[in-house]
Chains A and B, each alone.
Chain A
Amino acid sequence: MTNSPEETTPSRLTTTDAVDASTGEPPVEPDVLDRDTYDAIREPRSSGRLPLGDGTWHQLARQYVWVQLISTGVLALIVLAAVLLVTFLSHQWWAWIPGGVFLGILAWTMIITPRQARAYGYQLRRDDLVFRRGILWQRVVAVPYGRMQLIDITHGPLDRGFGIAQLKLVTAAASTGVVIPGLKQEAAELLRDTLVDVAEERRTGL
């Protein structure tokens, strides 16, 4: 491949793992992906749910919940401050109606964030990546490695502070929509490099 000098960096999977994948072995996952993450997928209780199936699910880093809580909390504080300002300075009590609804939504978001974070999962199978999310609205997507067009890593300032990143997987279909938030940064980079290698191996037409 064209990016051979980077292969000497120790933290990344060697290309042979990706090559093995085409001969039938699943890509070897070192525990970088599972360091400091949740260890059980949260599922709906009903028996009619979409089952987990077999294989190991990798999950999000625990710091992701803190990042979400902090950012939502800051937003809630700003809204609260704005509402208080309006009520005390100009005695407009109606400001509590939209403000209260908004604050309620934010509080609800913060309550369900830890549960939601536990419902995220991804699996590296032999030919594809499987991604799942959601408890009330479950969604499972399988993306063949050869279909990945590019892989995007983004991290904001708060993410950097907690050492996590968001990985977005882009295919030619806009509806694929696979975004894995809250990976440890080294896990995200390892995953990106592995996926790019495997995608390069199996590149097909559109």
Chain B
Amino acid sequence: MSEFDHVPPPVASGALRADARAAPELTDGEWHRLHPLTPLFRGGLFLVVIAGLVIANLRDRLVFLFLPWLDEDIDVEIDGEEFRSGDPIDFIIANNLYLVAGLVLLGILLVLIGLFYLSWRFHTFRITGDDVEVRSGVLFRTHRRAPLDRVQGVNLTRPMFARLVGMAKLEVVGAGLDSNVKLEYLSTANAEAVRADILRLASGSRVVAAARADSATLHSTEGANAPGVSRRSAAASVVSAGLTGLISGAEEPVSEPESVVHIPIGRLVASRLLSTSTLWLIAIVVAIIVGSIAGTPWVLFTLIPALIGFGAYWVRTITRSLRYSIAPTSSGGAREQPGGLGRSPSTIRITFGLFTTITEILPPGRVHAVEISQSILWRPAGWWEITVNRLSGRGLADGTNDQFTTVLPVGTRADVERVLRLLLPGLPENEWPLVFEHGILGPKPEDPYTNTPRRARLLRPLSWKRNGFLLLPDALLMRRGAIWRKLAIFPLARLQSIGIEQGPLDRALSVASIRAHTITGRVNGRLAILDRDAALGVFEDAEAAAVTAASSDHSHRWADEDPEASPDAVSVSVENPTAAVPVDGPEQRP
């Protein structure tokens, strides 16, 4: 564990004291800085762009420099006219200004380094018992604060280059569009520790909090003993941490739990090849061949970019899903409570990606909808995919949203069963057959689902026997599709609202559609063509059950056994001083 982030920044005033419940190390409620190499990675793209511009502009000259036998078409004649036409390198060479040019370059470099250093120095973060805060910017200061009880998950991203030097990005997923708090970059070990601490604080586990407070006091006295050593030892530890990171490659995260699902590479590749995009590729190839026969054979050459494009797409999707693992963890604090594992649900850890490895931690109760789907191409092999609706805290335009919705890229029925048990720990044992036997594979004899009535079968000609719903005490199941089989599960404690719709055609057949409203995602909550009375019934029942489920749900502080200590109590006590001002105001007026 390195010490480099511990230097208190000058911008952090002494008034910002550690919270009583805070953890030691980076989560002690004080302001800390990010890894000193951060600007290199954050500014990396910028430098690459600059280098690219320079190389593009000096291409001829570089060719001449390194490959002098190619210089026929490079005009090296230098005369007075050439200077004014503006090639600065010629000017420098002609006037012997090497020293000045070198100094200018050095100056620019120093200014850049200084700017990077300043931006690093002013980029600080703080983790207290209630929030994660990040301050950044030199001239335009930004200050972002995310309340811990709204944390939707913590993602640890390790891009390939950062991984080589043992660094990682930490992203605290907030509840909103573009509401993530990013800590870029931390050393991998620090990132793991910070993540565990954030989850522990967010879980509201008070057993841990007390233990942490003790060690925090111990730690602070320890730190106060050696103020003079800090600079040198910090520098030394940076180097040593970087070296260890290089040697160990930071490949192993701290105590990675055993995955409950293993995806063989063969299955992964086959499943990606058997996807809808393949059908598109075949269609395109057929169209091109037909075109080349009917028209000119030159059309055949358009095959090459199409194949390259699809190949790149496959490689990308496959590498993204490689090294997949999903496992329950106890970083939510459940481990620390005696016998607590059975009662408080654990967090889920999902890791994937070959080059850029992403590790997501999903606290319980953050999954708003789950869908198990199987395309007709996968049916002979018996493979399924699981997608979820969850808050990713990113902007709508962010293209990386997609990878956070797939929880299981491909799996057999047994895999699906294991993953679902992790995702929906609250479902009682006797309800699982309704999900697996009847929901995923159904319909079977004695179907418990309420399906499309026979009179409306023309509106669902293939799937009318399968198109139906089932309301369980804590979940709403929607079964759809005969060719593309799907089962959507909506935990009622996460259901935002429910709607029922009817168009003129529906009315003529006395049917209606119900729609479960959850946060935006790939799982669609609409189930059409149901008997009107059945739809009205489930509309009322699901609404009532959702209200009950929501009121008894306290998964925003999932390890907190005592509802009295829920964050509402905390936030009220925090807000009271400010609230007291307007209350007192009118009374003090004469």
Chain A interface residues toward B at CB < 8 A: 2-5, 44, 46-51, 127-128, 136-144, 146-147, 171-176, 178, 202-206
Residue of B with least CB distance to A49:
B507
Given A2-B575, A205-B553, 4 additional A-B pairs, CB 8 A: A4-B582, A46-B507, A171-B497, A175-B499
Cβ–Cβ < 8 Å partners of A51 in chain B: 536
> Given that A140-B539, A176-B497, A204-B550 are known contacts, is A50 also in contact with B175, CB under 8 Å in the complex?
no
20 CB contacts below 8 A, A to B, read A48-B507, A48-B509, A137-B501, A137-B504, A138-B501, A139-B500, A140-B499, A140-B501, A142-B498, A143-B496, A144-B546, A147-B550, A171-B497, A172-B391, A172-B519, A175-B499, A204-B556, A205-B150, A205-B554, A205-B555
Q: Is B279 an interface residue (CB 8 A)?
A: no
Residue of A with least CB distance to B391:
A206
Cβ–Cβ < 8 Å partners of A175 in chain B: 499, 515, 517-518, 520, 525
Task: Name the distance in Å between A195's Cβ and chain B's nearest Cβ.
Answer: 13
Are A128 and B547 in contact (CB-based, < 8 A)? Answer: yes
> Given that A49-B502, A138-B502, A205-B553 are known contacts, is A147 also in contact with B497, CB under 8 Å in the complex?
yes
The 3 closest A-B pairs by CB, nearest first: A48-B510, A205-B556, A173-B496
Q: For the complex, give the distance between the alpha carbons of A51 and B502 in Å.
A: 11
Are B543 and A128 in contact (CB-based, < 8 A)? Answer: yes
Cβ–Cβ < 8 Å partners of B152 in chain A: 206
Cβ–Cβ < 8 Å partners of A46 in chain B: 507-508
Residues of chain B in range 531-563 having any CB-CB distance to chain A below 8 Å: 532, 536, 539, 543-544, 546-547, 550-551, 553-556
Are A141 and B536 in contact (CB-based, < 8 A)? Answer: no
Q: For the complex, give the distance between the alpha carbons of A49 and B501 in Å.
A: 10
Q: Is B32 an interface residue (CB 8 A)?
A: no
Q: For the complex, give the distance between the alpha carbons of A144 and B556 in Å.
A: 18
Are B585 and A5 in contact (CB-based, < 8 A)? Answer: yes
Max chain B Cβ within 10 angstroms of own Cβ: one of A47, A141, A171, A206: A206
Q: Is B503 an interface residue (CB 8 A)?
A: yes
> Given that A175-B515, A203-B568 are known contacts, is A144 also in contact with B547, CB under 8 Å in the complex?
yes
Residues of chain B in range 546-590 having any CB-CB distance to chain A below 8 Å: 546-547, 550-551, 553-556, 568, 575, 578-579, 582-583, 585-586
Are A44 and B507 in contact (CB-based, < 8 A)? Answer: yes
Contacting residue for B582 out of A5, A147, A174, CB 8 A = A5
Cβ–Cβ < 8 Å partners of B502 in chain A: 48-50, 137-139
Chain B interface residues toward A at CB < 8 A: 149-150, 152, 175, 365, 368, 391, 493-494, 496-504, 506-512, 515, 517-520, 525, 532, 536, 539, 543-544, 546-547, 550-551, 553-556, 568, 575, 578-579, 582-583, 585-586
Residue of A with least CB distance to B504:
A136
Are A142 and B543 in contact (CB-based, < 8 A)? Answer: yes
Q: For the complex, give the distance between the alpha carbons of A173 and B175 in Å.
A: 12
Cβ–Cβ < 8 Å partners of B578 in chain A: 2
Task: Name the distance in Å between B572's Cβ and chain A's nearest Cβ.
Answer: 8
Q: For the complex, give the distance between the alpha carbons of A204 and B552 in Å.
A: 9
> Given that A173-B496, A206-B175, A206-B391 are known contacts, is A142 also in contact with B508, CB under 8 Å in the complex?
no
Contacting residue for A173 out of B507, B519, B579, CB 8 A = B519
Cβ–Cβ < 8 Å partners of A176 in chain B: 496-497, 499, 517
Contacting residue for A146 out of B518, B520, B536, B550, CB 8 A = B550
Are A127 and B496 in contact (CB-based, < 8 A)? Answer: no
Cβ–Cβ < 8 Å partners of B519 in chain A: 172-174, 206
Q: For the complex, give the distance between the alpha carbons of A143 and B494 in Å.
A: 12
Are B554 and A202 in contact (CB-based, < 8 A)? Answer: no
Contacting residue for B553 out of A49, A137, A140, A204, CB 8 A = A204
Task: Name the distance in Å between A74's Cβ and chain B's nearest Cβ.
Answer: 31
Q: For the complex, give the distance between the alpha carbons of A138 and B513 in Å.
A: 10
Q: For the complex, give the distance between the alpha carbons of A51 and B512 in Å.
A: 12
Task: Name the distance in Å between A196's Cβ and chain B's nearest Cβ.
Answer: 15
Are A50 and B496 in contact (CB-based, < 8 A)? Answer: no
Contacting residue for B499 out of A47, A141, A147, CB 8 A = A141
Residue of B with least CB distance to A143:
B497
